């Protein structure tokens, strides 16, 4: 009986020992396997790769501060040389449309640390006298920037001036072109309102919008009136398409830029191949002004000039309807060409 108990105990110990040795061998083999796998597929390699050619945000903010000092005249020639600052020809131009929101678009894009804006409208390509001064004169009107940054200028008259497409093409046939549009009748009234305000400041009289927009002899829309003619977007765009493919244009919804700017700005970032940097933090609604203002950082905010967002005069509803019907077929063609549709009447 004792012999059987001892034999059974030895058997149990043997089994337990085998299990222990097996567990140790498994762990050794497992660790060895992990060691062998680690160099092949490190944890870091499974993370999405960083976006190419991105500059750290703090670096870009520092550079923006330096450019701000330069614009104020506080940067020295040594700083310009040391930081490799240059005056670059624009790689993108906001070519129009007048009263579509070109200033708002430019200022909002300037929130992006990789964008530098020309503060004033240069009017190089639409002004014969300026154009005759040559490309070096034009470059000299550009702001200083870092080589990785994109310079953008805006001159809304470019869109409607006949000579401009060819002149820009000769400078840079691959340039990116931004067009911001609003509902054509609203844009025409806004155009009239700006001119009216200028006349009133000079104590000059001015016709009512209805008299200018409608030909009194025929009771039809007056296409000789510049505010009406500018709103026929497709007529002007067709002239540009003789020189540039449609892929080099990006259409911005000016009405949406007023009410919900961030999605429009993100579309422009993608069009310009910029990393996404503009966020909701940079845009805040100013209830007093009735539109969005810009937040560059914790201390620097900016709203557009008080002249933006003028109150439009009341226009005879029958004239508004006549204009909307007039613009409708041109709008349909514009949608077809650009591939972007708007809810215009």
- Give the residue numbers annotated as catalytic, written as ranges: 99
Nearest-5° angle of CA 68, CA 74, CA 76?
110
Residue found under tokens 């077929």: 329
Handedness of CA 175, 176, 177, 178 (dihedral sign): negative
Strands 283-286 and 220-221: unpaired
Residues contacting 137, CB < 8 A, separation 6+ = 124, 130
Using CA atoms, how far residue 174 sits from 106, 112, 237, 262, 272, in Å, is: 20, 22, 17, 26, 12
Angstrom distance (rounded) from CA 247 to CA 271: 10
Tokens of 226: 């510049």
Tokens of 80: 């310009």
Binding-site entries for 3'-phosphoadenylyl sulfate = 99-103, 182, 190, 292, 308-312
Q: Burial of 186 by CB count in 10 Å (0-12 exposed, 13-18 middle, 19+ buried)?
A: buried
Summarize the chain as % helix, strand, coil (round to 5).
50, 10, 35
Angstrom distance (rounded) from CA 198 to CA 72: 30
């Amino acid at each position: 009986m004792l012999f059987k108990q001892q034999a059974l105990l030895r058997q149990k110990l043997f089994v337990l020992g085998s299990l222990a040795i097996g567990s140790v061998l498994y762990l050794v083999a497992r660790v060895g396997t992990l060691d062998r796998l680690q160099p092949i597929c490190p944890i870091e390699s499974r993370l999405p790769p960083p976006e190419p050619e991105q500059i750290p945000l703090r670096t870009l903010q520092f550079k923006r501060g330096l450019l701000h000092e330069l614009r104020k005249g506080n940067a020295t020639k040594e700083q310009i040389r040391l930081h490799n600052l240059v005056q670059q020809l624009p790689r993108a131009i906001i070519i129009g449309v007048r009263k579509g929101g070109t200033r708002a678009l430019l200022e909002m894009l300037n929130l992006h640390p990789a964008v530098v804006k020309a503060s004033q409208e240069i009017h190089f390509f639409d002004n014969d006298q300026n154009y005759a001064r040559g490309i070096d004169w034009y470059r000299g009107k550009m702001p200083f920037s870092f080589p990785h940054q994109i310079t953008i200028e805006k001159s809304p008259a470019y869109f409607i001036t006949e000579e401009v497409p060819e002149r820009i093409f000769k400078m840079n046939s691959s340039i990116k072109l931004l067009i911001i549009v609003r509902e054509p009748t609203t844009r025409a009234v806004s155009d009239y309102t700006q001119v009216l305000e200028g006349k009133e400041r000079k104590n000059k009289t001015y016709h009512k919008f209805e008299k200018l927009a409608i030909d009194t002899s025929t009771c039809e829309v007056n296409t000789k009136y510049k505010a009406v003619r500018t709103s026929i977007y497709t007529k002007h765009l067709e002239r540009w398409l003789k020189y540039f493919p449609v892929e080099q244009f990006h259409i911005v919804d000016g009405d949406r830029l007023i009410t919900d700017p961030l999605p429009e700005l993100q579309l422009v970032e993608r069009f310009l191949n910029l990393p996404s940097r503009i966020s909701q933090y940079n845009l805040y609604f100013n209830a007093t002004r009735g539109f969005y203002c810009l937040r560059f950082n914790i201390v620097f905010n900016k709203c557009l000039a008080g002249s933006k967002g003028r109150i439009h005069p009341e226009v005879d509803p029958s004239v508004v309807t006549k204009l909307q019907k007039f613009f409708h077929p041109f709008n349909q063609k514009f949608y077809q060409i650009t591939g972007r549709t708007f809810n215009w009447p």
